[in-house]
A and B are shown apart, each in its own frame.
Chain A
Amino acid sequence: MSGAAAGRPWEATVALPRAGEGAGPAPRVDHIVVLGLVPPGARVLDIGCGDGSLLALLRDRRGVDGRGIELSREGVNACLARGLPVIQGDADTDLANYPDGAFDVVVLSQTIQATRQPRVVLEHLLRIGRQVIISFPNFGHWRVRAELAFRGRMPVTEIMPDAWYETPNIHHCTIRDFVGLCRVVGAKIETAAALDSHGRPMRFAMPWWVWNLFGAQGVFLLRRGGGDGRR
């Protein structure tokens, strides 16, 4: 990452898509954020890559050599049709088979809270990738807190749309919690961002507690090594 971008990943994004550019629908805003964090030509592993839209975006805009892991056959087939090398598998069981440092960047988008062993998964990510981009829904968001505090119910939001008895999300955490996990596994936080409920980066560098209250999701760029790089 360039120095100017450190701590403000949204400023490192490339130009937002113009009308009529590309054949498909406009990229998701959170994908644009990831796009801004991935250096051109990087080798990228996208875990839980869905239909491959992020990988295709990275390939077409950044010229990356992208690979993916996806649980659903529908997702894998969609990726095959895009010409993306994606394997049917899951983060909890398949990461152990990747060699150290196999990728420049490993992306885990909105998935860590659904893994059985988030700590083990994060350690694998840091082992496999030189850099790790990870995003997750922030359970410390004010609406989540309000649901619990005032209605006494498990929250259902845009980014966490399932009722507690159906949700695949079994390991919720807040942005602060995740920062704590980074410390535990010795991950260096190169840069971080909180996205609002529309997936847009929050504009100002603010203290953690503000992000933890108003960020609907957290996006972190990590690398191996000790210490908390931000504060």
Chain B
Amino acid sequence: MDIQPDTALRPDPIDDTARRTPEVSQALDPKSPVVRFGPDKPLLTDAGVALAPFQIAYQTAGTLNAARSNAVLICHALTGDQHFAHTHPLTGKGGWWDTLVGPGKPIDTDRYFVVCSNVVGSCMGSTGPASIDPATGRPYGLDFPLVTIRDMVRAQAMLLDHLGIDQLFLCIGGSMGGMQVLQWAALHPERVFAAMPIATGARHSAQNIAFHEVGRQAIMADPAWHDGRYLEAGTRPSKGLGVARMGAHITYLSEPALHRKFGRRFQGGSAPTFSFNADFQIESYLRHQGLSFVERFDANAYLYLTRAMDYFDLAEDGGGVLANAFRGTRTRFCVISFTSDWLFPTADSRVIVHALNAAAAPVAFVEVETDKGHDAFLLDEPAMFSAARGFIDAAARARGL
């Protein structure tokens, strides 16, 4: 979700020409380190499948200290990837969390060893539906098992084992990344010293599931989807995926931000054209978001990852009581929400905070005032940075870093 709301506006609508884009090339041959787990180390998924072999693509920044105590795990969001501080191999853009991570930044790569892995089920080098199924020699497509947030965390834990990292100093992420942070804290409390779930919830709401379903239906309604077998058919469900992205993108913003950036302004002229061209700037902007997205993301991966978010409900694992998920934890938490985020509103974060309180966990909570909506966690938000810096620096002191 590297949203740059100020990018140039393009008037052209989504066209149907099968774009010969390399969006699945990264799935097969990622431009980042990869750890391969053989048949002896399957990923045992919630769906009851032993996924093997499988691979996890990841990126790192900084240096692991001798005590191996300065590791930070960044968990990326729905359409994010491992290139948090690295040039994206397809878009050529800088790291998606350059604002927060880097030398001298709140997550200081001069002090910490930062790891981010592509989640299992995605399409940037970790095994997912665009990967080759060793049983058939063709892309998994919908034969890929449904994965959950917990499966993503299991795979990350295997990666950390491989890297020789016992305990994370910090586990941090926004949106779907925040879900992984919560899942980490619940599944492996002893491996997480500090946790920062941002703009997230302990479960996906009915409204959010509904938005995801609209996106999935758009993809599956595209004739080029071919029941998920488009890679073999030589097509791409670009129209469906583009519409899914356009719809989802609205949920990442807010009405005040849309109004401030676009209002009802016309694209290119002042008069309506009395047609269905992209008269309004907001239409043009959304079409551009859809277009650029399909060039870097696999449609089936989008189906799988949205599903993983839908299934997420941390309280369910504890008999419906969220506090049970954190019982006895010694992890210190900092929860952050944004006032204009209506996808994961502050109320969702408060549910997490109250559960942590009930579990007697040390928890800090900040609601950042912004009109940038859900995407604020990816953007330049000084109030978020100062809260993050305060929390992380204090945690580092407590950890002796």
Partner-B contacts on A (CB < 8 A): 43, 65, 67, 73, 76-89, 94, 97-99, 102
Contacts and interface: CB of A to CB of B under 8 A. Distances in A.
Contact of A88 (B332, B366, B389, B391): B366
Contacts of A94: 354
Interface string B348-392: 001001100110101111111100000000000001001101110
B20 interface: no
Given A73-B369, A73-B383, A80 B357 contact: no
A75 B334 CA distance: 15
Residue of B358, B391, B398 ringed by the most chain A CB atoms within 10 A: B391
Contacts of A79: 364, 390
A102 B357 contact: yes
A80 B354 CA distance: 18
Interface residues of B, number: 29
Contacts of B358: 97-99, 102
Contact of A73 (B332, B335, B367, B391): B367
Nearest to A78: B390
A212 to B, nearest CB: 36
B260 interface: no
Nearest to B353: A87
Contact of B394 (A82, A88, A97): A82
Given A80-B387, A80-B390, A97-B354, A87 B395 contact: no
Contacts of A80: 334, 364, 366, 387, 390-391, 394
Contacts of B393: 81
Contacts of A88: 365-367
Contact of B395 (A83, A86, A89, A97): A83
Q: Which 4 A-B pairs have the closest CB atoms?
A: A83-B394, A80-B390, A87-B365, A81-B390
B164 to A, nearest CB: 28
Contacts of B332: 85
B366 A76 contact: yes
B233 to A, nearest CB: 52
Contacts of A43: 360
A77 B365 CA distance: 10
B364 A76 contact: yes
17 contacts: A43-B360, A67-B363, A73-B367, A76-B365, A78-B390, A80-B387, A83-B398, A85-B332, A85-B362, A85-B364, A87-B363, A88-B366, A89-B353, A97-B354, A97-B357, A98-B358, A102-B357
